[in-house]
């Protein structure tokens, strides 16, 4: 990334206000490896049995960390699964930067991006269901982790738009698109929407991006 160019994450931060919370101290290499094992164990358990299969003791045993250590990293399984969603989105964002969407308009690129994200979740439906349930169950105590998921989603959409300095109307459109994507995912997981319906809803919402700005 060239100096002076805002990253997708920074652009996503702008949508959530100018005040950035103080960053947590960076993890050591050993701590990061431990965190990675914990998230991988969480994904394996959720992938096999969904939300109910993620139990703190089983996660600790599978990731070879003490139960008390696990609770210091993640106070609950909701924290665990929201962090897993964030991890998956970060991986997707990296993949998209290496292989950007090819649509000719911002709306087409965002729709392609979100469908790629959807198909990645579709490959592991029980894990997807567990992560979405965790987001829905999250209370104020998980606000920071949920906010990071939202910021990453916003950054992914803004990168697909190719938008360096989104205006208020564009950010409003992004919020509607995020809500639509989340709702469409829930509808598909519950069997109330087909993949074709999900794609149609996402493409419809993404057309907001290409609308001309209103006067005033």
Q: Give, for all 216 residues of the chain, the pLDDT tens digit.
A: 333 333 444 444 444 443 344 556 787 888 899 999 999 999 999 999 999 999 999 999 999 999 999 999 999 999 999 999 999 999 999 999 999 999 899 999 999 999 999 999 999 999 999 999 999 999 999 999 999 999 999 999 999 998 878 888 889 999 999 999 999 999 999 999 999 999 999 999 999 998 877 765
Q: Establish if 55 belongs to a structural domain.
A: no
Number of domains in the chain: 1
CA-based nearest residue to 34, from 2, 78, 66: 66
Q: Establish if 120 belongs to a structural domain.
A: yes
Instruction: Give the chain's count of helices (H) and strands (E).
Output: 10, 0
Expressed as residue numbers, the domain containing 118 is 77-210
Q: Establish if 38 belongs to a structural domain.
A: no
User: How far apart (Å, rounded) are the C-alpha atoms in residues 173 and 163?
Assistant: 13
CA-based nearest residue to 138, from 73, 79, 85: 79
CB 173 within 8 A of CB 208: yes
Q: Establish if 57 belongs to a structural domain.
A: no
Sign of CA dihedral 78, 80, 146, 91: negative
- Residue 148's domain is classified under what CATH number? 1.10.357.10
User: How far apart (Å, rounded) are the C-alpha atoms in residues 10 and 150?
Assistant: 13
């Amino acid at each position: 990334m060239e100096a002076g160019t805002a990253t997708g994450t920074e652009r996503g931060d702008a949508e959530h206000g100018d005040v950035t919370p103080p960053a947590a101290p960076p993890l050591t290499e050993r701590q990061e490896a431990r965190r990675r094992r914990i998230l991988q164990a969480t994904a394996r358990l959720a992938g096999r049995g969904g939300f109910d299969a993620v139990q703190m003791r089983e996660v600790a045993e599978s990731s070879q960390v003490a139960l008390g250590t696990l609770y210091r990293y993640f106070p609950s399984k909701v924290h665990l699964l929201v962090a897993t969603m964030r991890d998956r989105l970060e991986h997707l964002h990296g993949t998209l930067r290496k292989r950007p969407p090819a649509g000719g308009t911002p709306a087409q690129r965002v729709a392609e991006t979100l469908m790629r994200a959807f198909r990645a979740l579709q490959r592991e439906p029980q894990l997807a269901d567990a992560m979405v349930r965790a987001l829905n169950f999250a209370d104020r105590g998980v606000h920071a982790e949920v906010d990071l998921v939202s910021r990453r989603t916003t950054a992914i959409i803004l990168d697909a738009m190719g938008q360096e300095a989104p205006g208020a109307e564009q950010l409003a459109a992004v919020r509607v698109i995020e809500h639509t994507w989340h709702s469409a995912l829930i509808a598909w997981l519950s069997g109330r929407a087909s993949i074709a319906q999900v794609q149609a809803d996402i493409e419809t919402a993404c057309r907001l991006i290409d609308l001309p700005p209103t006067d005033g």
